[in-house]
């Protein structure tokens, strides 16, 4: 695995180039290495850096090796007695063949999500990985150091190999991925992702990769992949996977591959009862959970958003209690008796090497309804000047007290409105400052909210609706009607925090994947318990 260590070093300076070569692919030989064009071409020895083009084949002899480098920093190291073909290099996809021998590869950037690598018995789809591949006439073996690799054999069987796993394909067909032993020479600390990167967000990345590998519910899964431009003019390979872990839950995993980074996240929604196959119907299910005049047939129980750049992460969760009948007229509202969640608990958690303790709850908001008293209460907790979670405001509403209803609250603690309430004095060690801005100007779908806490930490969230070609939605343009009708824009989420040590999280999500299951045979009404 010393070779894999070297693959992570800076690219070698290459001096030779061919006028007809495919741009960005170069060969550096060590020892006896030959190149030919086409299966009938004559082999020609190469002794120095050489540009490669589509249709060329590289052959290494005994005691020799070769390194192939790409313009995005990706590298392939060919061992001795190896034949490697450059089949095609196009913008949509690049394809290579390992006819025999062994290679180690470290693919990164946009290039890594458009590669097919063939052997005599298998086809590998690369997804931003570091791996070792060996091929003979009748067998193939792949060993992953980090990332994800989709493998298909010549019998049509498929497997997904994840970090620190090995897979063999022989005459009897494809085996199952096996986790490498910690004593295996191919599992050295230098290439183990958990040892190289901060563990918290990396563990989440590993779990996501393993979940995609173990797709028991593959028949219920949708996939989406496309190349887009983000709101800042950068090319992004956007990939999404829609999973159904249970009949009352869905999980959307979205990944953003850029030339120099990989950001990803997931969205989870879990309901009380079974949900429709057509997920576009879920908006009606959710809206029916709030202020319904009759007991809802189904309701949202849990909502989670997780976003990470593989070093820093933000996680927001909302847990809902079962609906309860509340007489809202007691609060001065005209809606009367309506069903409403008995409780809601919203939590924001930050993780990363710059976060005190590695992970901490930055914000928490809790709402509860007391069936006995008929009171609703809200409590908001934030980070105080000492960096600890502390109550900022606690509001209780008594619907039977006319004065309290007119005032809007029975008690308010540590809130800047305490002068008009019967509560404690202002707690200046707690009060955060929140700002709202429109970075692209008003009228554009670019909305940013930032909060500065009393300990000096900051958190901001920017939400942008951007087209596939990088245009931010302008609500004054005709494109706004197209978005409202078809939802064709991508949602870009940019998270910044002073605790992220100069890094940010920047991920894109394509809502269109949620409307792929349009042939559903069920509806919310048909799924009542």
**169, 140 Cβ separation under 8 angstroms:** yes
**pLDDT band per the 50, 70, 90 thresholds, residue 230:** very high
Residue 66 has pLDDT above 60, yes or no: yes
Mean pLDDT, all residues of the chain: 77
- On whether the pTM is more than 0.75, the answer is no
Between CA 45 and CA 49 the distance in angstroms is 12
> Can you read off the two tokens belonging to residue 390?
């502390």
Between residues 428 and 149, the one the model is more confident about: 149
Structure tokens at 200: 């918290």
Strands 94-106 and 115-118, how do they pair? parallel
Report the alpha-carbon distance of residue 28 to residue 99 in Å, rounded: 19
CA gap 412, 426 in Å, rounded: 10
| 528 compared with 156, residue with greater pLDDT | 156
β-strands 115-118, 389-397: how paired? Answer: unpaired
* Residue 373 neighbours by CB under 8 Å, 6+ apart: 398
Find out whether 252 and 487 touch, Cβ atoms under 8 Å: no
**435-442: average pLDDT:** 91
* Stretch 427-450: mean pLDDT: 86
* Cβ-contact 382, 394 below 8 angstroms: no
Please report, for the chain, the start and end positions of each structural domain, with discontinuous segments joined by +: 2-196, 205-515
Q: What percent of the chain has pLDDT over 90?
A: 32
**Backbone angles phi and psi of 401, in degrees to 5:** -105, 110
Residue 168 contacts residue 141 (beta carbons within 8 Å): yes
- Top-confidence residue, 461 or 159: 461
**Per-residue pLDDT tens for 369-422?**
988 888 888 888 899 888 888 888 777 888 887 777 776 656 554 444 444 344
Asked whether the predicted pLDDT for residue 205 surpasses 70, the reply is: no
Helix (H, G, I), strand (E, B) or coil at 157: coil
User: Is the pLDDT confidence value at 520 over 50?
Assistant: no
Looking only at the bridges linking them, the beta strands covering 165-170 and 178-179 are antiparallel
Give per-residue pLDDT as tens, 449-468. 999 999 999 999 999 999 88
Q: Which residue, among 278, 234, 276, has the nearest Cα to 256 in the 3D structure?
A: 234
Residue 207 structure tokens: 């779990």
Distance of CA 124 to the CA centre of its chain: 22
Higher-confidence residue: 128 or 405? 405
Distance (Å) of CA 221 to CA 96, 243, 244, 269: 29, 5, 7, 15
Specify burial of residue 262 (Cβ count, 10 A radius: 0-12, 13-18, 19+). buried
CA distance 148 to 211: 11
Q: What backbone phi and psi angles, to 5 degrees, belong to 487? A: 60, 45
Multiple choice CATH, 2-196, 2.60.120.1440, 3.40.605.10, 3.40.50.300, 3.90.1150.10: 2.60.120.1440
């Amino acid at each position: 695995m010393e070779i894999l260590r070297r693959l992570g070093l800076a690219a070698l300076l290459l001096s030779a180039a061919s006028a007809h070569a495919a741009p960005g692919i170069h060969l550096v030989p060590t020892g006896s290495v030959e190149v030919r064009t086409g299966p009938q071409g004559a082999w020609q020895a190469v002794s120095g850096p050489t540009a490669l083009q589509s249709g060329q084949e590289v052959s290494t002899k005994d005691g020799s090796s070769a390194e192939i480098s790409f313009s995005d920093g990706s590298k392939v190291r060919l061992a001795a007695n190896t034949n490697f073909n450059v089949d095609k290099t196009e913008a949509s996809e690049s394809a290579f063949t390992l006819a025999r021998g062994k290679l180690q590869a470290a693919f990164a950037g946009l290039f890594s999500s458009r590669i097919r690598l063939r052997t005599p018995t298998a086809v590998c789809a690369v997804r931003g990985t570091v791996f070792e591949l060996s091929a003979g006439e009748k067998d193939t073996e792949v060993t992953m150091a980090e990332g994800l690799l989709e493998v298909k054999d010549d019998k049509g069987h498929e497997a997904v190999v994840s970090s620190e796993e090995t897979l063999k394909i022989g005459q009897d067909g494809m085996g199952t991925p096996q986790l490498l032993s910690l004593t295996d020479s191919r599992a050295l600390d230098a290439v183990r992702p958990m040892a190289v990167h901060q563990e918290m967000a990396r563990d989440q990345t590993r779990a996501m990769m393993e979940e995609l590998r173990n797709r028991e519910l593959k028949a219920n899964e949708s996939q989406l992949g496309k190349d887009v431009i983000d709101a800042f003019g950068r090319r992004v390979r956007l990939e999404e996977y829609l999973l159904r872990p249970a009949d009352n839950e869905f999980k959307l995993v979205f990944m953003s591959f850029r030339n120099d980074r990989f950001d990803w996240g997931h969205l989870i929604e879990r309901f009380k009862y079974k949900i429709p196959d057509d997920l576009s119907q879920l908006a009606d299910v959710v809206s029916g959970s709030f202020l319904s005049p009759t007991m809802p047939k189904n309701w949202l129980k849990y909502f989670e958003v997780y976003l990470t750049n593989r070093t820093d992460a933000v996680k927001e969760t909302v847990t809902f209690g079962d609906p309860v009948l509340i007489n809202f007229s007691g609060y001065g509202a005209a809606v009367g008796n309506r069903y409403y969640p008995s409780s809601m608990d919203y939590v924001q958690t930050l993780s990363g090497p710059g976060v005190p303790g590695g992970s901490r709850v930055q914000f928490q908001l809790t709402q509860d309804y007391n069936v006995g008293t008929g009171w609703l209460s809200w409590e908001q907790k934030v980070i105080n000047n000492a960096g600890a979670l502390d109550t900022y405001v606690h509001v209780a509403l008594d619907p039977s007290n006319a004065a309290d209803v007119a005032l809007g609250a029975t008690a308010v603690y540590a809130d800047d409105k305490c002068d008009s309430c019967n509560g404690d004095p202002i707690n200046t060690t707690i009060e955060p400052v929140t700002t709202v801005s429109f970075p692209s100007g008003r009228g554009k779908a670019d909305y940013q909210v930032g909060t500065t806490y009393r300990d000096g930490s900051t958190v901001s969230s920017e939400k942008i609706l951007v087209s596939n070609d990088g245009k931010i939605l302008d609500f004054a343009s005709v494109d706004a009607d197209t978005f409202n009708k078809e939802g064709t824009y991508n949602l870009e989420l940019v998270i910044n925090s002073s605790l992220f040590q100069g890094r940010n999280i920047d991920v894109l999500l394509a809502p269109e994947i949620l409307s792929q299951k349009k042939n559903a045979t069920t509806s919310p009404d048909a799924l009542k318990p």
